[in-house]
Structure 1
Amino acid sequence: MSSVRDIESQQYPNPSDSSTVAEPSDTRADAKQDGSVKADDNDVVWVDWKGPGDPENPKNWPYRRKWGATLIVSAFTFISPVSSSMVAPAGMEIARQFNIHSPVLAAMTVSVFILGYAVGPLFLGPLSELYGRSVVLQVSNLFYLAWNLGCGFAQNKSQLIAFRFLAGLGGSAPLSIGGGVLGDVWHPEQRGRAIAIYSLAPLLGPVLGPVCGGWIAERSTWRWVFWSTSIVDVAVQFLGLLFLQETFAPLLLERKAKALEAQDQEKGAKRTYRTVYETDGSRHWRELFGRALTRPFKLFALEPIVQLLGIYMAFIYGVFYLFLTTIPIIFADIYHEGPGIAGLHYIALGIGLSISAQVNARALDYVYKHFKARNNGHGEPEFRLPSMIPGTIVLPFGLLLAGWSAQNHLHWIATDIGIACVGAGLILNFQAIQTYVVDSFTLHAASALAAVSFLRSLAGFGFPLFAPAMYAKLGYGKGNTILAAFAVALGCPAPWLFWTYGKRIREASRYAAKQKVKESDLT
């Protein structure tokens, strides 16, 4: 079986490889006019950026343009996860209307959306590396919009579950494509703050959604939970159509090559233009399509980094969605609050997420630059890991505090403090892992994030299904103690292990090591 490096090198070679790109000859005046095109002896002209400062390279865009792309992608990443949990406070009303008596089936009306998150990125991420980030992101969002709107018109539980799954498929695109966009436009030293904002969106969205959903369910009908998010999504889609530009370097250079080839054909020339990302000369859509769609599966099967980080991400994401679905139950059963007031406790989770995200946004780049300076100016993805250390401590502490406070009927503020600590621990780990993956697999960050998020989304789907039975049998104190024990066992060794052995793992994964070299060549 071919290794991942073998497969990628066929499609995306090193642009600096002198054996691939020859100097132009004196008879090729058109090629010499532009330092970004170089012809070889076979009438093939190789197209590259016009040096490291080429303004057409997304990494050289002005900061305003980079932040515009970052914020629009973050908006897409925010609105879809809002839908994933906004329906949670209305779960009891939906169960009554559709005669759902099984707690597992009732939880599935919420979590089946996340099952779509597991499947969608495996195809949408690589498609963005074939057809471009912008078009795949926006078409997928329209697919999400149509089915999310349909959820509001569902007439039975089967329709609702099916429509929720399909909406999750479309809504999953920003989770992998967004990271690819940030890898396209930001240099490693600048990427931390951008990814901190982007990675906050898929966690803050599900927190704010139930706050609104609780009041909608109490004052109106559960159907407006879906219709209201659809209205907001229309506004986000409109901004995307106006301002989101293509950022994927191989596609941008391919467009440039096609334009130059068309100009030559008008002049009667028959030279072939190819980008520096092509070596085998094959541009047949079936071959490119096959490579793109199989890439996440090969990454998941062959890359130890993806496998190890995927397992830990699965746990923390599962805990996150477990809390999203159980917060209304805790404050309804123990503190006897209605859906609207109970939904306000999601704010505690949002406070923990937001404060930690803002602090970490500044720390990620500062820590990276600090260790890079100590490493003779050479950056490593492992320099993103220190923020995981407080995260692996705060997360189990929050689980214990929230669980035992609810179990012993302490004042609701104690439970909320525990929930806030859970949020803080989640985002610290989440941001560090996402940035580490993007730094390790920059050009194909979308496929790498899709592979990592596969297990994560399966856990987000599965954890809420067993949570009611676990808490009914063990109580919130013992149930959260088990989760805290897993958080300590999986989380605490993680930063040390990746700091010590991460580089060795990446070097064994020749694909990840090569990818890092290619990024430096392109920037």
Structure 2
Amino acid sequence: MTDSPHIELQHRAPVGEESWDQTQEELWNGDPENARNWSTSRKIFTSGAVSGIGFVCTLASSIYAPGRQETAAEFRIGETVSILPVSLYNLGMAFGPTIASPLSETFGRRAVYLVVLPVFAIFVLATGFCHNFTAVCICRFFAGAFASPGVSIATATVADMWAPSERARPLIIYYSSPVLGSAMGPLVGGFVAESKGWRWTQWTTLFFAITLFSPIMFTRESYKKIILKRKTRAEETRPSRSLNAFLDQIPKFIRTTLIRPVHMLLTEPIVTLLCMYMGFQFGLLYVFVIASPWVFSTRYGFSLTGQSLSFLGLIIGCFLAPMFAMAIDKTARGSNLPRFLLQSTSTPDKSVPEYRLCSAMFGSICLPTGLFWFAWTARSSIHWISPIAAQCLVMIGSLNIYLSAGMYMMDTYGPLYGASANGANSLTRYSLAAAFPLFTLQMYQGIGVGWASSVLGFCALAMAPIPWAFFRHGPKLREKSKYQRSD
């Protein structure tokens, strides 16, 4: 479940700096180093490589969860405290854009991958060797902080390679990979923790990392600005000049990575409401990471292996959701059915951003339906397949909302301001993903499975009108926005 701190696909030199004239643009469009001109196989390979990064980095966030009871016994801590390493990892992930933006701007996408991912692996390795719970928490936080830049700029890498008209499917597949990683973590972690112990959940993460991080070494730089710098001003690649360039980026970094995303979150209704909605559905995934094993152990007597297998519903939902998203996107653009929802009849062009919201509208119905279904069928008198199927529907709805809303914000604000909107989204999502696990167990134990899940269902129901409202009123809101689309 992944974000881009800086997606500036079309570099425009500010007034007073060297211009980017039409001849240079034509030369760049025909340049073989231009990522848009790469072969289809290279684009697919690179898209697969960054999707693998998203999968591993989020798998690492949840794979620890099945071993937390063993951790609690070893370090003599409470059940709630044992959840902290999950929350702290996600809190570290929230800071990813603050690291990735200046690094990506100065050194390029590939350099960020090659630097931060090995550091992430070192902290994961260190977590497995910790003999103090405080050390476990610290290592998990820094593992998340160094995992996040690789996830954050992956969207930018995909956008570098694929033209807007080609981008939907690669982005849908990429956006699905981090969510799949989060859902797969407890399944893998349950088997590993039961047979080898909680420390092996960390070392198993390294096996995935070695396998899925390796392809990134065979990729090329895709960021236009860095490629052009290397072609025209080779001396800027010297370490001393690169360091100076990095330091020069600090004011811009503060403005674009810290101030602008927060300002958009507070002042742009589209960003505020969609980030809240996307943050809720991502936090909901971590509610299931904590609650699902407890529900199936207390209601159905599942062993640790059975608790792990209960995540198959979420995993199947992860595979089905992109198929629904692609089918709905294609159907919406090929049909006149959704047009009546648009308030502005003067924009019949189906390339308007609002058509991206069709799968979110579908997801807004599936999400509360699945939550209420899970709430009142997770009981011993009803077969366990029913709540697992409900989780599948929850994931289909949740992921369709995330995929659709993310692409809508990018289409609405363009590469430059869309990156800031995604930064706000990243901060919201991972902050809620850090907070939700801390109260999940107490809520389910205190008011029961039915009402705890129903509370979440009512929250989802209250937010369900958001994509429908934006589909109808989005054109007017975009006209009033202070952040006009900028390419």
Residue 75 of structure 1: aligned partner: 52
Counterpart CA distance in 1 for 2:43 and 2:331 is 20
1:339 to 304, 308, 333: 304
The correspondence of residues 18-29 of structure 1 with structure 2, limited to 5 A, is 21=19
Check if 1:93 corresponds to 2:70. Answer: yes
Check if 1:399 corresponds to 2:394. Answer: no
Check if 1:486 corresponds to 2:459. Answer: yes
Check if 1:245 corresponds to 2:206. Answer: no
**Partner SS state of residue 13, structure 1:** coil
Residue 142 of structure 2: aligned partner: 166
The alpha-carbon distance between structure 1 residues 64 and 444, as it changes in their structure 2 partners (threshold 3 A), is farther
Residue 191 of structure 1: aligned partner: 167
**Partner SS state of residue 480, structure 1:** helix
> What's the offset of the Cα at 1:441?
3.2
Letter of the 1:98 counterpart:
F
Counterpart CA distance in 2 for 1:126 and 1:306 is 23
Letter of the 1:335 counterpart:
Y
Counterpart CA distance in 2 for 1:451 and 1:367 is 28
The higher radius of gyration belongs to 1
1:175 to 151, 156, 159: 151
The correspondence of residues 243-282 of structure 1 with structure 2, limited to 5 A, is 244-259=219-234
Residue 249 of structure 2: aligned partner: 288
Letter of the 1:153 counterpart:
F
Q: What stretches of structure 2 of length at least 5 have no aligned partner?
A: 1-6, 238-243, 340-345
Residue 387 of structure 2: aligned partner: 415
Residue 295 of structure 2: aligned partner: 330
Letter of the 1:312 counterpart:
Y
The correspondence of residues 382-393 of structure 1 with structure 2, limited to 5 A, is 382-393=354-365
Q: Residues 192-211 of structure 1, C-alpha deviation per residue, up to 9 Å, x if partnerless? A: 11111101111111111211
Letter of the 2:457 counterpart:
A
> What's the offset of the Cα at 1:434?
1.8
Check if 1:224 corresponds to 2:200. Answer: yes
Counterpart CA distance in 2 for 1:19 and 1:126 is 21
> What's the offset of the Cα at 1:259?
4.3
The alpha-carbon distance between structure 1 residues 299 and 408, as it changes in their structure 2 partners (threshold 3 A), is farther
**Partner SS state of residue 246, structure 1:** coil
Residue 110 of structure 2: aligned partner: 134
The alpha-carbon distance between structure 1 residues 183 and 448, as it changes in their structure 2 partners (threshold 3 A), is farther
**Partner SS state of residue 441, structure 2:** helix
Q: Residues 257-289 of structure 1, C-alpha deviation per residue, up to 9 Å, x if partnerless? A: 214999xxxxxxxxxxxxxxxxxxxx9543323
Letter of the 1:68 counterpart:
F
Counterpart CA distance in 2 for 1:290 and 1:393 is 43
Residue 342 of structure 2: aligned partner: none
Contact 2:66 2:189 (C-alpha < 8 Å) held by counterparts: yes
> What's the offset of the Cα at 1:383?
2.1
> What's the offset of the Cα at 1:239?
1.3
> What's the offset of the Cα at 1:327?
1.2
Q: Residues 305-357 of structure 1, C-alpha deviation per residue, up to 9 Å, x if partnerless? A: 33332211111111111111111111112111111121011111111121121
> What's the offset of the Cα at 1:380?
2.8
Counterpart CA distance in 2 for 1:385 and 1:366 is 12
Counterpart CA distance in 2 for 1:22 and 1:316 is 42
| Identical-residue share of aligned pairs (%) | 30
Contact 1:178 1:446 (C-alpha < 8 Å) held by counterparts: no
**Partner SS state of residue 337, structure 1:** coil
Contact 1:119 1:454 (C-alpha < 8 Å) held by counterparts: yes
Counterpart CA distance in 2 for 1:448 and 1:125 is 13
Check if 1:469 corresponds to 2:442. Answer: yes
Letter of the 1:334 counterpart:
R
Letter of the 1:497 counterpart:
A
Q: Residues 418-459 of structure 1, C-alpha deviation per residue, up to 9 Å, x if partnerless? A: 111111111101111222233333246554422211011011
Q: Larger deviation: 432-441 or 323-332?
A: 432-441
Q: What stretches of structure 1 of length at least 5 have no aligned partner?
A: 1-7, 25-34, 37-47, 263-282, 519-523
The alpha-carbon distance between structure 1 residues 364 and 131, as it changes in their structure 2 partners (threshold 3 A), is farther
Check if 1:123 corresponds to 2:99. Answer: yes
TM-score normalised according to structure 2 size: 0.87
Residue 360 of structure 1: aligned partner: 325
Counterpart CA distance in 2 for 1:70 and 1:476 is 40
Letter of the 1:206 counterpart:
S
> What's the offset of the Cα at 1:181?
1.2
**Partner SS state of residue 452, structure 2:** helix
Q: Larger deviation: 185-194 or 302-311?
A: 302-311
* Matched residue count: 462
Letter of the 1:379 counterpart:
S
Residue 508 of structure 1: aligned partner: 480
TM-score normalised according to structure 1 size: 0.81
Residue 30 of structure 1: aligned partner: none
Residue 278 of structure 1: aligned partner: none
Letter of the 1:309 counterpart:
L
> What's the offset of the Cα at 1:407?
4.4
Contact 2:333 2:350 (C-alpha < 8 Å) held by counterparts: no
The alpha-carbon distance between structure 1 residues 238 and 284, as it changes in their structure 2 partners (threshold 3 A), is closer
Residue 414 of structure 2: aligned partner: 441
Letter of the 1:228 counterpart:
T
